[in-house]
Chains A and B, each alone.
Chain A
Amino acid sequence: MLIISVSIFAMLSIKNLCKSYHYAEVRQDVLHQLEFEMSAASSVALLGESGSGKSTLLHLIAGLDRPDSGEINFAGYRIHSERESILAELRRSQMSLVFQQFHLIPTLSILDNIRFQAALCQRFDNHYETELIDRLGLAGQLDKYPHQLSRGQQQRVAIARSLLHKPQLVLADEPTGNLDENSSLEVMGLFSDLVKQAGSSLLMVTHSQAMAEFMDRRVWLHNGKLAETG
């Protein structure tokens, strides 16, 4: 078993994590005794084949799902066993999630969407908001609604929303999966720069080697375990 590099200052640490699903009474182990650590202000690309359990791992870290066994410790919290209200509080103030499908609130304006999570955790920085909007090229779109924007623009809104409250950890699941290659590279470059500038960590699920190159580390999920790659 290959042990992922360990730091005593790990912001996120996962130990002996197991998760399985049952499909038509057949048990399928998705994660098996998985070990992982991630330090603050770092970025990691999580690679793997389709169905290897990348998204499942991301959901477990975000506290959106519960593991069968094992531990997930994040910023002093035991994600695997915390109450739903604590997990909600953590997601609200210490984490953010970016998905391939953007998950914007369709009935709120672009500006309200960007501000939403920062408003929820009452951590609001006007200067940073302006900077984010400018750097993501959204200045002319603020009064519009999500359906009036292209997919690339919608993903930029999702990125702005995920960073405005400067979370410790950004979890991204194929954030450029819906975009063409050029837009993907452009959005990804911006995204990784902004994450670094915010001092956040980024754990990104991707199956694109090109996107993974933007990250400090790359790990490969195979047979329920993680292995460090080049």
Chain B
Amino acid sequence: MNTGFYWILKALLSHYWRHPWQTLFLTIGLVAGVGLWSAVQIINQHAEASYQQAQSLLGAQASHWIRSRRDEGIDQATYIELRRAGFRQVIPVIELEVSTAAGVSISIIATDLLALPETVFDGEQSTQDFSRTWLEFVQPPYRAWVPAVLAAELDLEEGTQLELRDGRKLPTALIQAREQQGRRVLVDIGAAMSLSGSNRFNYLGVGEITPAEYARLAASLPGSLELIENQQHLDLQDLTASLHSHLTAMSLLSFAVGLFIVFNAVRFSLWYRRATLLDLRLMGCDLRHLLAAILLETLVWSLIGTALGFVLGVALAQVLLPGLGASLQSLYDATVDAELGLSPWTLMQAWSITLIGLLWALTWPLYRQLQRSSFEAGSTDVMLADETTARRRLAFAALLLACLAWIAYAQIETVTQGFVVLGMILFAAAWILPFLLAQVLSLVGSLLPQRYLLGRWMISDGWSQLPALRSAMMALLLALTANLGVGSLVDSFRDAFVGWLEVRQSADIYLRATNLDYQQLEMNEINASWLADSNHRIGVSTRWGGRPALIRGTNPVAPDSTVFPLSRWQGDSPASALKAWREQPGKVLVNEQVHFLAGVEIGESIALPTDKGLRDFEVVGVFYDYGNPYFQFYLPDHVVASNWSHHYSRGIALWLNPQNKNAMQQAEASLKALGAQPGDWISQAQIRRLSIGIFDRTFAITAAMNLLTMIVAAIALLASLLAILHERMPQFAQWRALGLRQSEQLLLVATPLLVFCAIVWLLSIPLGALLSWILIHKLNIISFGWSMPLVWEIGPALQLAVVVFLICAVTLLSISFQWRRQMPQALAQLGETV
């Protein structure tokens, strides 16, 4: 680096040293933006890596599954026979859901480590620790490998035993997260069998298998078992892709808000340095050197922003991952490793996006600065004229973008396209904002009578503040809109989900035990005192339209079958559609996923794969099915029983006698007497608690990101106002010299700010509603295949108004404090002579 370049760089960078607040705000903007973006990227990539890793560990062997056609499990003898027949790639798996003594529901997965191929433990077998751990796992009294996150949630310490609701205990816990067990407890197959009191496995996993072996294995299986291809990995990627897309879009939105702050900070840093840039040019600095120095500065900022932002991103990901992991497992049965793995690729992506963002923020102001002749570039008048031009250009670009979004809206077919259009709408709104604020100022100015001096002064101060507040107001608008829009989406979902649970899960008890005779339960007169109604549901798992699908058989006259929450129906009313479904053969109800994702309409015939080949059913109703990633078809139970011989029981729903106050206790006693284990049934309250828990965990990440976005926007506002304060200090000193009190000065500065914030808040309400509407009625349908009614309440908007007011109050307080500190010096410099 030659001396000249070093001095140019020194002159430019000294700005940051001398203005630590600006340096801090630029850093915060960058770090917050990068942090939010990279947190979601880390989570997404980690989840994807976990899906693949999980496959390679337990799933490498499971290219296929052997399952009971009637969901009755597989007995031990069949497994032993298969192994003896030379099928070394077959491994047993048991999956259990149990409740702890504290009422927490946990999943247990069990396999036979001895049956796993050696490759699973490559590089580990030789270590002494591994051998001991392994032996303890497979030999009585066994060990339960509990992931650290779950152990922390359960307050479980290593070496202790977890007590279940029925008093039994799990094997001694080893806090062990090496296995891809996600939040599940891993135990040996022997331990699981004694725990379940059954000698049956849920299914057998089959490792890599040649076509010849496949044929031999299929031929060796008894008729009650089927050999099916394991498509779980593919399904997982398909099913979770939309959720991850949503998260990415949220992170990009946060990044955009961060980018506005960076844009703001970069603009201010150039604004402040316009005198320095002018001096440098007067002293003969080469334009290329100046550009190179600014680009180098940008590079340094991008590295600082990326490094610190990535650290924040990792910390955020660590906080958000357990909740999201739990949701992914609950909703999709997708296992996400609790231990965070970081990839250099994510870091590179974060750096690239930061550098591009910074260059974008820098390019236009720098171009304008350098395009001007030396003296013009330093003139405040020219800069203000630039502002007017910039406002008009932005407004024009906003209109153009809005038109493009309008045209593109009808063409949206994918989630990505949807988010691009959403981005266009949001940016159009942000870009037109400065023009709107200027128009409001002009309008108020023209309406205000000449004699209202203070009012006119406030308007004129508004014009002075507008250029500096431009980007901060845009960032605030984006943050408020995102908060209201996404908040409304979540509220709508919660309301719809809770309402749906009320209708669909109206039974008091849900029982699922393979060893019970449900008919006996329903018929036994002893149970009549507490049992008001029941619905024994049966089902068949299949694939339809390229996705996993469930064909469900339900008692058509049961309480929950008569009040199906239909979003579309055939005939005059939902009741008439349900009547036709109950009474006429060949009618089917499908979930919204079938309607939206497979394009099936009311009145259309769909072919379902029955035992006797494909059979057509006419769709008479489409029901809401929130959060379900699968296709579902509801048929009367007798139709399922007659068309699918391998149907299996999906449990029974029991409605208690409302007249009997002790119905629940009697029901539990009766079920125990019939041989059901306490873990076999679950009450409606538990289901609701579990479901809402999953829901809240899933959307905790959204709430966290909303909060952080608001913080970032608040910082932008604070940074801008402090910048104004610094720039206009001599002017404020003049006001003081004219006899204005500090409170009057504060009122002059605060009024335009509060008016701007109020306008931004008002604008964010319809924009937030629009965002929410598009998310629900377009993107949700494309992503997940279900819709819901939009819930829009004024409460969250009012809460945000309070937040915005508080941000303004804090900002004005800090201004007041700064005035106290800096005013004496500014006053001393007034009219200074030598």
Contacts and interface: CB of A to CB of B under 8 A. Distances in A.
Contact of A180 (B3, B11, B834): B834
A107 B283 contact: no
A119 interface: yes
Nearest to B6: A119
B281 interface: yes
Chain B: interface residue count, which band? 20 to 34
Nearest to A167: B284
A59 interface: yes
A44 interface: no
Given A105-B14, A108-B10, A119-B3, A89 B284 contact: yes
B513 interface: no
B14 A89 contact: no
A144 interface: no
Contacts of A150: 832, 834
Given A106-B276, A119-B3, A179-B834, A95 B284 contact: yes
A119 to B, nearest CB: 4
Contact of A64 (B2, B7, B375): B375
B385 to A, nearest CB: 14
B370 to A, nearest CB: 10
Nearest to A95: B284
Contacts of A106: 18, 275-276
Contact of B279 (A59, A84, A103, A151): A103
B833 interface: yes
B286 interface: yes
B833 A180 contact: yes
Given A88-B286, A91-B283, A151 B832 contact: yes
Contacts, number: 96
Contacts of B285: 88, 92, 120
B18 A92 contact: no
B367 interface: no
Contact of B10 (A104, A112, A183): A112
A120 to B, nearest CB: 5
Contacts of A116: 7, 11, 283
Nearest to A55: B375
Interface in B669-697: none
A69 to B, nearest CB: 18
B4 A120 contact: yes
Chain A: interface residue count, which band? 35 or more
A120 B834 contact: no
Interface in B1-37: 2-4, 6-8, 10-11, 14-15, 17-19
Contacts of B284: 87-93, 95, 117, 120-121
Contact of A84 (B3, B7, B276, B287): B287
A214 interface: no
B509 to A, nearest CB: 74
Interface string A30-68: 000000000000000000000000000001001011000
A170 to B, nearest CB: 13
Nearest to B5: A120
Nearest to A158: B279
A112 B834 CA distance: 23
B127 interface: no
A84 B15 CA distance: 26
Most A CB contacts (10 A, CB to CB) among B11, B15, B287 go to B11
A84 B374 CA distance: 12
A88 B281 contact: yes
B142 to A, nearest CB: 69
B282 A107 contact: no
A85 B284 CA distance: 9
A125 B834 CA distance: 30
A96 B282 CA distance: 8
Contact of B7 (A90, A96, A120): A120
Contacts of B276: 105-107
Contacts of B288: 85
Nearest to B279: A103
B821 to A, nearest CB: 15
B728 to A, nearest CB: 15
Interface in B255-291: 275-276, 278-288
A163 B834 CA distance: 22
Most B CB contacts (10 A, CB to CB) among A96, A105, A116, A150 go to A105
B373 interface: yes
B4 A85 contact: no
Interface in A75-118: 84-85, 87-93, 95-97, 99, 103-108, 112, 116-117
Contacts of A88: 281, 284-287
Most B CB contacts (10 A, CB to CB) among A62, A99, A119 go to A119
B283 A117 contact: yes
A7 interface: no
A70 interface: no
A153 B833 CA distance: 11
A16 interface: no
Contacts of B2: 122
Nearest to A104: B279
Nearest to A179: B834
A199 interface: no
B833 A151 contact: yes
A89 B17 contact: no
A93 B834 CA distance: 31
Nearest to B378: A103
Contacts of B280: 105
B11 A108 contact: yes
Interface in A130-154: 145, 150-153
Contact of A122 (B4, B8, B374): B4
A112 B15 CA distance: 14
Contact of A145 (B15, B18, B275, B279): B18
Contacts of A121: 4, 284
A152 B834 CA distance: 6
Nearest to B11: A105
Interface of B: 2-4, 6-8, 10-11, 14-15, 17-19, 275-276, 278-288, 373-375, 832-834
Given A92-B283, A92-B284, 16 more contacts: A87-B284, A88-B285, A89-B284, A89-B286, A92-B4, A92-B285, A95-B284, A107-B11, A107-B14, A107-B276, A112-B10, A117-B283, A119-B3, A119-B4, A152-B834, A153-B834
12 contacts: A64-B282, A84-B287, A85-B286, A91-B282, A96-B283, A103-B278, A105-B11, A105-B275, A108-B11, A119-B3, A119-B4, A122-B4
Top-9 shortest CB links A-B? A92-B284, A91-B284, A152-B834, A107-B14, A107-B18, A183-B834, A119-B7, A120-B4, A103-B279
